[in-house]
Structure 1
Amino acid sequence: MVLGGWTRRSWIAAAFAVGALAPALAAGDRSILVLGDSLSAEYGLKRGSGWVALLENRLAAEKIAAHVVNASISGETTSGGRSRLPALLAKNKPDVVVIELGGNDALRGLPLPMTEDNLVQMTRAAQQSGAKVLLVGMQVPPNYGTDYSKRFAGLFASVAKKTKAALVPFLLKGVADADDPARMFQADRIHPVAEAHPQMLANVWPELKKLLK
């Protein structure tokens, strides 16, 4: 069969050639793996409105050849992330790993040394795989007690110092401490509304962009 001077065999050969080129073209893209909890998994939001989805738009707008793998799960703890990370590293071979975990550890009252150790081990595992790491910190409300709140917020900086990883001190800066924070959160007062996610991305982007250079 001839189509416009091309035989059917020619079309099939061309199709295979394009297929063979596609992985090569994508191979130049850098891979960003986001390992987070509900704050990164679009809990309660319309798909595509969370900060990780907005990150993909930002990369495209700035013409940065990188794609995002969002491996975030609502309710995830640092222990869960630590157990899942080896398979994610092997499968995705990321250039940058963004770790946004720890908040659920605090909600469950898990020991802070355990949370810190899990974060250290995840960071080192990612680094050993060849990836750069960006730790995204969290804070807890004052009702947890001044001492606990201070120690929890400080453990992210401690991990970053131990591992020489990049750090965003507080994902919800400008959200939880906004002039009217109530309007920035869903009814549960834990998960930000869609309108808050551009600010969350704005908190992450400067440090992440450095790692993509």
Structure 2
Amino acid sequence: MPENKHLHLNSVASQAPIIIKFCYFILAILLIGCGNEKNAEKAMEENSDTEETTVVSENSKSKTILCFGDSITAGYGLDDSNEAYPALLQKKIDSLELNYTVINSGLSGETTAGGRSRLSWVMKQKVDIFLLELGGNDGLRGIPLTETKANLKAIIETIQTESPNTRIILAGMELPPNMGKDYTTEFRELFAEIASQYDVAFIPFILKDVGGIKALNQNDGIHPTAEGHKIVANTVWEVLRPMVAN
């Protein structure tokens, strides 16, 4: 994964949803300052007026899949939020006539610490499957791995305690080699260790077959294109499908 990372908030809508919007003020400090100055300014402008849209099915009996992550989940840079992988998962689910609604809770610039702090708000709704996709921003900023690990564990423990029937999927992430061999290796391995410790479903690398491939990423080299998101959706679907089929 390249070092430059500018993040954006997007939302997913399922068929005939009721949309409830919650406005977020996103601090500029959440942007990675090591990138191109013009791109950073653009990202800050886009984030200043951003909203997170939570999709609630009209059918109260519909089960919920919550995608809780950063700009990868949010679908930063796409022309249409329906091109992001959570929306593509919804299409797969709808094609099988399964009674699930996918909620995109991707937030611009999110770190594991940020995710931990907003978890209580997110969990006010009933969640049947919780996809946890966080950690990439921690790694790019060189945050101590002990902090990243502690935050991810706290998120999982909170879900398992407050909503024991919620099934969790942990999505792993990898870093570019310029972050240092020891750091990148330990970073990659911490996800597998946590998934094993808490016995949750695991996606080793959510950007499998996408990360580092120029044709599948936007000009910043980190956010997938619409084609890239199709591959991401397929990667997630490999783990998600057996869970929704039961």
TM-score bracket, normalised by the shorter chain, equals 0.7 to 0.9
Give the conservation status (yes or no) of the 8 Å contact 1:39–1:74: no
Q: Distance in 1 between matches of 2:153 and 2:197?
A: 8
Q: Distance in 1 between matches of 2:230 and 2:186?
A: 28
Identity of matched residues, %? 40
Deviations 1:107-158, CA, capped at 9 Å, x for gaps: 1111111111111111121222131100011000111111111100111101
Match among 74, 89, 92 for residue 55 of structure 1: 89
Q: Which residue of 1 aligns with 2:210?
A: 175
Q: Which residue of 1 aligns with 2:228?
A: 196
Give the conservation status (yes or no) of the 8 Å contact 2:71–2:108: yes
Corresponding residue SS for 1:99: strand
Amino acid at match of 2:216: M
Q: How big is the shift at 1:28?
A: 2.6
The count of residues paired between Structure 1 and Structure 2 equals 187
Give the conservation status (yes or no) of the 8 Å contact 1:54–1:198: yes
Corresponding residue SS for 1:174: coil
Corresponding residue SS for 1:98: strand
Give the conservation status (yes or no) of the 8 Å contact 2:112–2:151: yes
Corresponding residue SS for 1:97: strand
Q: Distance in 2 between matches of 1:125 and 1:64?
A: 28
Give the conservation status (yes or no) of the 8 Å contact 1:102–1:115: yes
Q: Distance in 2 between matches of 1:62 and 1:107?
A: 38
Q: Which residue of 2 aligns with 1:150?
A: 185
Amino acid at match of 1:104: N
Q: Which residue of 2 aligns with 1:161?
A: 196
Match among 121, 124, 132 for residue 87 of structure 1: 121
Give the conservation status (yes or no) of the 8 Å contact 2:66–2:130: yes
Give the conservation status (yes or no) of the 8 Å contact 1:37–1:73: yes
Q: How big is the shift at 1:69?
A: 1.4
TM-score normalised to the size of structure 1?
Answer: 0.84
Q: How does 1:106-121 map to 2 (within 5 A)?
A: 106-121=139-154
Q: Which residue of 1 aligns with 2:62?
A: 29
Q: Distance in 2 between matches of 1:140 and 1:74?
A: 18
Q: Which residue of 2 aligns with 1:139?
A: 174
Q: How big is the shift at 1:201?
A: 0.7
Q: Distance in 1 between matches of 2:189 and 2:229?
A: 24
Q: How big is the shift at 1:48?
A: 0.9
Give the conservation status (yes or no) of the 8 Å contact 2:140–2:179: no
Give the conservation status (yes or no) of the 8 Å contact 2:211–2:222: no
- Please identify the structure whose Cα radius of gyration is greater: 1
Counting helix residues as a fraction of each chain, which structure ranks higher? 1
Q: How big is the shift at 1:93?
A: 1.1
Q: Which residue of 2 aligns with 1:72?
A: 106
Q: CA RMSD in A?
A: 1.6
Q: How big is the shift at 1:210?
A: 2.4
Q: Distance in 1 between matches of 2:114 and 2:240?
A: 23
Deviations 1:47-102, CA, capped at 9 Å, x for gaps: 21010111111110111110011111121000111111111111x21011100000
Structure 2: 5+ residue runs without aligned partners? 1-55
Corresponding residue SS for 1:39: helix
